[in-house]
Chain A
Amino acid sequence: MTEKNEAHETQHHIVSPAVYITIFICLLVFTGLTVGASYVEMGVFNPIAAIAIACIKMVLVVLFFMHVRYSTRLTMLAVGCGFFMFLVLIGMTLADYISRAWGRW
């Protein structure tokens, strides 16, 4: 199994403070952006922008603060799996609610 080998190579990858600081600044900037964006009238793009910025922030935190960028494939798979099921829960439930409005058939 390769996961073990990878683990040996990557487990003690120490992320440097410079990376942390860069990410931290990015997060602050995106926080400002998301507050600013909510004051701009963009119609349907308001929620899209808000979610998109939140997703970018999340990806930054997950990849660097949580070290997924330097982790084994197994960890990446697990994270992917978690988000996939999260989307299944939301997506398939919402699919019911959205299609209810389509009328009977």
Chain B
Amino acid sequence: MNFLSKENGLLSWLLTGDHKRIAILYLISITFFFFIGGALAGLIRLELLTPQADLMATDTYNKVFTMHGIIMIFFFLVPSVPATIGNFLIPMMIGAKDLALPKINLLSWYLYMAAGMLGLYTMITGGVDTGWTFTTPLSTHYVNTNVLTTGLAVFIAGFSSIFTGLNFIVTIHKMRCPGMTWFKLPLFVWANYAASILMVLGTPVLAITIVLVALERTIGIGVFDPAKGGDPILFQHLFWFYSHPAVYIMILPGMGVISEVISTFSRKRVFGYTAVAFSSVAIAIFGFFVWAHHMFIMGISNYSVIVFSLLTMLVAVPSAIKIFNWTFTLYKGSITFETPMLYAFGFMGLFTIGGMTGVFLGTSGTDIHLTETYFIVAHFHFVMVGGMLMAFLSGVHFWWPKMTGRMYPEKISQLAAVVTFIGFNFTFFPQFILGTLGMPRRYASYPPEFQVLNVFSTAGASILGVGYLLPVLYLTWSLKYGAVAGDNPWQATGLEWQTQSPPLTENFAVTPIMDHEVYDYEWLEGQKAKEVASVR
């Protein structure tokens, strides 16, 4: 008996309050949206194979990259790790029976689906071509595509994200099991806690900004309209006040996954647990103070540029701390190289590049040359795809036995991890060079001397596509044919591994008591020895 088999029928899923079932619902839906976004990315790469806009007209191309951005950001990256892995595991990691607000959790999924369907509807009925940034006055006065419905979709998706974040914060504060003090929380929980703060405090600002854009587009209020005395840069401020912290919403949970995976597969406590935990919170806090580095060349005051550039340098430090702490977690460990670990190694390399190139862009001088080019495209794909997506896949593989009770096939998944890594570098590394050359982003056509690198990039994208399709195939296969996993296949220490797989609906038969340190592998050995003794 477990949460999957307890009840059957569609309604038992659609009306469930169980965080694990909602996580599965989320997992299916975000995978769906990921592949739609991925297909759009494929179209973009195909179009850029040649310098001319020949596969599609420029306006089609504009719609394609806009929808790619909106779907990937609001319907994949923001909910990816928190709403799936986080939803499934946070209550188990802190020894709770469920999230604090199960109905709100379900509501969050319904809002997400409503927003997603609205987004798809928008795409089918003509699309939108503002870019995911909705820059005014372009979005308010100059395009005649479906800005309103897209805005509504993003607005609703925002509330879905707010509810998820709110639920996590409340759960982490109020639902911890006996003995689970703050410094016994797994780092995944810390990371999601930090991301949740950003969701709760950042997203509403995006919501009101979209409302103002919609009002400006429909009845013509003048808050962002330079013709009426409004300031379009104010839109940029409000938009990036959310959308910069949003990148930390996307990456922080991924960092949490990496902490868990690296600790488990090197069988060692995370090096400098406190530093890693606090660096998550530091990123969340500093993340709110750096938004205007997206606007260095946009006409904000030069004094602001200096301040925001300096703060951006400060926010880069906690990320560096994390990378080195993970590296030293390996030191004197006992390392094995299962798929999640391979993805985690991929994450560390790619995130280091992504993070460092972020410093290029946060430095006000070089930002002038590199911003709005393919350099920035490459940078955020290194962080988001090379970082977050790798972490997501790492997490899905890591907790797949817990979620489904089945092991994924090890060899082919290791292959997939390597293919993804190679394909990724082929796709996005040339874009750094393109950006340095000055190739602007969001171009359907480009000067011919950029072609060679674009061909490399497109070729890499096809490899990357294979790398992403493989897990879907073998993970689905493993649901039926995978080896039975057992409760703790990785010999990991988290509370979630101390219960059965897949877990009971109420997670634990008996409310657990956290009587040992977090990542305490010696305690785990002791438990095993006790079990062996009792069997004898």
With both beta carbons as reference points, the residue of chain A lying nearest to B201 in the complex is identified as: A85
**What 0/1 pattern do residues 54 to 77 of A give for CB contact below 8 A with B?**
000000000000000000001000
- Asked if B366 is at the interface (CB within 8 A of a chain A CB), the reply is no
B288 and A95 contacting across the interface, CB-CB below 8 Å: no
Contact of B181 among A1, A89, A93, A96 (CB under 8 A): A1
Interface residues of B in 291-316 (CB under 8 A from A): 292, 300-304, 307
Interface residues of B in 235-270 (CB under 8 A from A): 237-238, 241
- Asked if B33 is at the interface (CB within 8 A of a chain A CB), the reply is no
B contacts with A, residue count (CB < 8 A): 19
- Asked if B123 is at the interface (CB within 8 A of a chain A CB), the reply is no
Describe A's contact surface by its main secondary structure: helix
A96 and B288 contacting across the interface, CB-CB below 8 Å: no
In the complex, how many angstroms separate the beta carbon of A103 from the nearest chain B beta carbon?
9
Describe B's contact surface by its main secondary structure: helix
With both beta carbons as reference points, the residue of chain A lying nearest to B197 in the complex is identified as: A81
A1-B182, A82-B201 known; A104+B288 contact, CB < 8 A: no
- Asked if B289 is at the interface (CB within 8 A of a chain A CB), the reply is yes
Q: Please, which residues of chain B bring their CB within 8 A of the CB of A3?
A: 173
In the complex, how many angstroms separate the beta carbon of B100 from the nearest chain A beta carbon?
13
Q: Please, which residues of chain A bring their CB within 8 A of the CB of B237?
A: 93, 96
- Asked if B205 is at the interface (CB within 8 A of a chain A CB), the reply is yes
Q: Please, which residues of chain A bring their CB within 8 A of the CB of B117?
A: none
- Asked if A105 is at the interface (CB within 8 A of a chain B CB), the reply is yes
Q: Please, which residues of chain B bring their CB within 8 A of the CB of A105?
A: 302
Contact of A92 among B201, B205, B234, B292 (CB under 8 A): B292
A96 and B289 contacting across the interface, CB-CB below 8 Å: no
B289 and A88 contacting across the interface, CB-CB below 8 Å: yes
B181 and A92 contacting across the interface, CB-CB below 8 Å: no
Interface residues of A in 86-105 (CB under 8 A from B): 88-89, 92-93, 95-97, 99-100, 102, 104-105
**Measured CA separation A102–B302 after assembly (Å):** 10
Give the top 3 A-B pairs by smallest Cβ distance, nearest first.
A99-B303, A100-B301, A99-B301
- Which residues of B does A touch, CB under 8 Å? 173, 176, 181-182, 201, 205, 234, 237-238, 241, 288-289, 292, 300-304, 307
* Interface pairs (16), CB distance under 8 Å: A1-B176, A1-B181, A85-B201, A85-B288, A88-B289, A89-B205, A92-B292, A93-B237, A95-B303, A96-B292, A97-B301, A99-B301, A99-B302, A100-B300, A102-B301, A104-B302
